[in-house]
Structure 1
């Protein structure tokens, strides 16, 4: 009978989870005891509820996922967990983990992913914990995990437990001192597919795809490959050639699995030929999406959320009973706010991080939400969901019989357009980033700044408000402080600065800019060109290039 062992260890001082778990270079997780320490801290944070519980385990297929999944199962066995559900070969998309947690009423899930960060031995790995609602652990839980990690002296594991997550099936083990322990290796797609069939009219989408309407789905060699193939090809009848880069690879084929105009250039180039009517790309773990129309017409995440919000009740069966409310992250442009106002629905502005949406959903206040970082989702789960977003778009296109571009033009004619761009400065030194934010903090409330007129590109701007965004949760009263420094101008334009919580090394500084345009013809103009004067003003006010020693961003989206 396999027996638990207690392995002596010493704490690491750097296991504080960020926006979505702990992300570090893969080689950091490969250090002796490093992964085990963090997992033991997660398990101990569950307290007495852990014994006899069900946990879900899986990841995005990157390097080390399969080995880590098997070791986590052995640790679950030693810590009194009764049942683990794991994806075949250790693979689950992040949205699927959320769905299974909710379906199986599990205590939570351990997700092995660094999301949109590159994978492989020389790149990144990550571990995050999702709680019983299916969403990312809230701040109180991640703080507890970190506190446990700082004084951890041992972890528990059943080293001689023979597990093979490559074989689908159920195995029951007798663990000495713990009783029965069940490991279910399941098809990673089936549960998610069943959920999607209950949300969308697959028949309507299949009719759309059976005609002349051509789609191109690029999975960027991430976890969505098996999901996209099963759903778009096997279920909806698209040609097999419609789904590309669909085999999950440990290093994502050497590419950056981030669905934006820079890292998904292969999709952009293919769409630019005019051969396809609709294109989409997903990130490594399947929670982010990018939407393109014919001739590579780009749909910003802010616009994507607003269009889905506007058409959901009309086009998606799941929402025909009504929408409770909408929400967006603070840096996301306010396009969905205008939809909420017209539909007389509540709108919430939350910090970056999907966990903030979860509280609102659990309280029955929120149905649809999104982030500017290519994340869109609804209350069907508690994660953003890339494939769900694309099925929502195809449902709208099937119902309206409009092209992607025409649909956006229709939308802007009614609501106007919230022009948006984001500048990412990746792998900055933490010292330089901290100095920049010290400077930005010093500008908050500065009377000289507030009285100044800022000119660039023939436009003039005057600041109406400066602050560091603070969020009070309307459900539990918790307060999240210092969530992004904002400069709001009298014409409603905004500049926002944040340090990203999803990087693994150094610091990623993000600068967000948005400005409202009511005139349709100006809405149709290139957003980057139209926003250039505001970019110039942002660089002047912040002295960003001087502080970061950078003359250009790494990525512009």
Structure 2
């Protein structure tokens, strides 16, 4: 077994997005494609000599093969140790925790998050830095720059490692440490939440359905919810991670988790429903007969976090992505703590969390988390909801009603237009961008525009500026619409329209009807349907 150096040439398009590099699986399977990107990561971080890394993923197709390649490249690049989840499995939040717990030099996470898996679907790889969070823009820019200058890769010719057995093994002088992917994360959750109260909740007949969507959180939810909290068998469904997620689209929203939604809206619905995505960092929460939007979930969890032992001292601040509704801002104001508005992408929360300025963060794209890790964390959000339910002794609908009565309701929705031709998506954003400066003071769909801009963020910690983060139109009554292109797709372009309207009364309106004036305004301003030829969005959340 020896480390070898192989010649290579740059491959175009290896630019990491907000969550690493995502492409079709067969692209990653091309000879040298994964190797080039991994070498670019090592080159960008100053090499691997003497360093320790974490490695794992969501179990999607090609993950097992990719793990062996990454291990051999780590050894050839001089790494001292790689801590890998058994069978190369680790949820994204568990990987973040392991990086922090073990004080490693970063980690490789193999996932395309909520995107479908399989030979004809999606694969992804991202590098998380020493704080456990996604690589910031300075690092991803360096990785992209390195990918364009590659002339060689370093890789061991050693045999594959058996990743099904716990323990340590040598790989060309590098220690490969195979660990239980669930144990450390479960211990962290037990330190944050009142497990005794949650066990009593289930012992009292509380019924729950957790849909793991044949993805990575299945083993985590089974261990924590069914084994440690003693919820009845069958509480966790679709609990076995599958390479193609059983043909499911592992995105926890009302469209792709329809079976859960149907059950929760049915005559014999459980008390509480939840789902997580492919790599375990997203969550959907549903009560009996009521869907909780991610923006509302963030606000409710922030308002009630003190009920959980891990947050009993209160919050330092609340951060949300710009497209997320302003509901959490109202909670921050009531609590007398700062509220931060960042671009989309969890890496922007990292500085706030590391600096102790924020405790809880959230995105409208079904992501919520706290300073316990540096990633959003789907199962954490579900457990915090359970802790709130146990402490308050109310149903989800009652908690939501109380929250809206105190803070008002932000009617909110996201409309996704998926796999658009890139030219069409660009034409839509160009059309709106070209109007921004002339919009304030004008009216559209009977509403007066107060402000319109292309959102830019100045990081309050390091002073860095991120521009062109989404087109905003804000109306005088506080309503707003946002248009931006998503960075998580692998085919064509995904255009997202975010709609928000605040109400201090009338909390039982149909969401889409309440937002109809904004939907009309968005079409008049951006011409989404006119330019795309679509009759409506592909997904509404």
TM-score (structure 1 length as normaliser): 0.96
* Partner of residue 253, structure 2: 260
CA offsets 1:72-109 (integer angstroms, 9 cap, x no match): 00100000100001111111000000000000000001
How far apart are the structure 2 equivalents of 1:189 and 1:451?
A: 55
* Partner of residue 453, structure 1: 443
2:507 to 506, 523, 528: 523
How far apart are the structure 1 equivalents of 2:164 and 2:155?
A: 21
CA contact (8 A) 1:233 1:239 kept: yes
Count of residue pairs brought into register by the alignment: 540
How far apart are the structure 2 equivalents of 1:238 and 1:120?
A: 32
Show structure 1 runs of 5+ residues with no match: none
How far apart are the structure 1 equivalents of 2:443 and 2:68?
A: 60
Q: Superposition pairs for residues 407-486 of structure 1, below 5 Å? A: 407-446=399-438, 449-455=439-445, 460-486=446-472
* Partner of residue 206, structure 2: 213
How far apart are the structure 2 equivalents of 1:488 and 1:441?
A: 14
* Partner of residue 92, structure 1: 90
- Whether 1:276 and 2:277 are equivalent positions in the alignment is no
CA contact (8 A) 1:70 1:164 kept: no
2:302 to 303, 306, 309: 309
Q: Which moved more, 1:465-474 or 1:432-441?
A: 432-441
Q: Which moved more, 1:162-171 or 1:494-503?
A: 162-171
CA contact (8 A) 1:70 1:165 kept: no
1:288 to 272, 277, 282: 282
Q: Superposition pairs for residues 177-192 of structure 1, below 5 Å? A: 180-192=173-185
How far apart are the structure 2 equivalents of 1:454 and 1:466?
A: 13
In the TM superposition, structure 1's runs of 4+ consecutive aligned residues that sit over 4 Å from their partners are none
* Partner of residue 166, structure 2: 168
Give the CA deviation at 1:187: 1.0
1:538 to 517, 522, 525: 522
* Partner of residue 138, structure 1: 136
Give SS of 2:31's match: coil
Give the CA deviation at 1:321: 2.0
Give the CA deviation at 1:114: 0.3
CA contact (8 A) 2:68 2:160 kept: no
Pairwise CA RMSD:
0.9
CA contact (8 A) 2:36 2:150 kept: yes
Give SS of 2:127's match: strand
Show structure 2 runs of 5+ residues with no match: none
How far apart are the structure 1 equivalents of 2:93 and 2:168?
A: 23
CA contact (8 A) 1:74 1:159 kept: yes
Give the CA deviation at 1:3: 1.0
CA offsets 1:127-149 (integer angstroms, 9 cap, x no match): 00100000000000000000000
* Partner of residue 499, structure 1: 485
* Partner of residue 537, structure 2: 553
* Partner of residue 474, structure 2: 488
CA contact (8 A) 1:409 1:524 kept: no
Give the CA deviation at 1:222: 0.5
- Whether 1:379 and 2:364 are equivalent positions in the alignment is no
CA offsets 1:362-417 (integer angstroms, 9 cap, x no match): 11111001000000000000000000000000000000000000000000010001
Give SS of 1:523's match: coil
CA offsets 1:456-515 (integer angstroms, 9 cap, x no match): xxxx31111110000000000000000000000011100000000111111000000001
CA contact (8 A) 1:366 1:379 kept: yes
How far apart are the structure 2 equivalents of 1:86 and 1:526?
A: 47
CA contact (8 A) 1:286 1:387 kept: yes
CA contact (8 A) 2:211 2:260 kept: yes
* Partner of residue 63, structure 2: 65
* Partner of residue 243, structure 2: 250
- Whether 1:390 and 2:388 are equivalent positions in the alignment is no
How far apart are the structure 2 equivalents of 1:162 and 1:393?
A: 42
Give the CA deviation at 1:8: 1.3
CA contact (8 A) 1:283 1:289 kept: yes
CA contact (8 A) 2:305 2:314 kept: no
How far apart are the structure 2 equivalents of 1:263 and 1:159?
A: 42
Give the CA deviation at 1:437: 1.4
How far apart are the structure 2 equivalents of 1:151 and 1:403?
A: 57
* Partner of residue 39, structure 1: 38
Give SS of 1:292's match: strand
* Partner of residue 348, structure 1: 340
Give the CA deviation at 1:346: 0.4
How far apart are the structure 1 equivalents of 2:107 and 2:250?
A: 23
* Partner of residue 16, structure 2: 17
Give the CA deviation at 1:162: 3.7
Give the CA deviation at 1:198: 0.8
CA offsets 1:509-554 (integer angstroms, 9 cap, x no match): 00000011111xx112221221112111111111111222212111
Give SS of 1:445's match: helix
- Whether 1:203 and 2:193 are equivalent positions in the alignment is no
* Partner of residue 154, structure 2: 156
How far apart are the structure 2 equivalents of 1:83 and 1:160?
A: 16
* Partner of residue 74, structure 1: 72
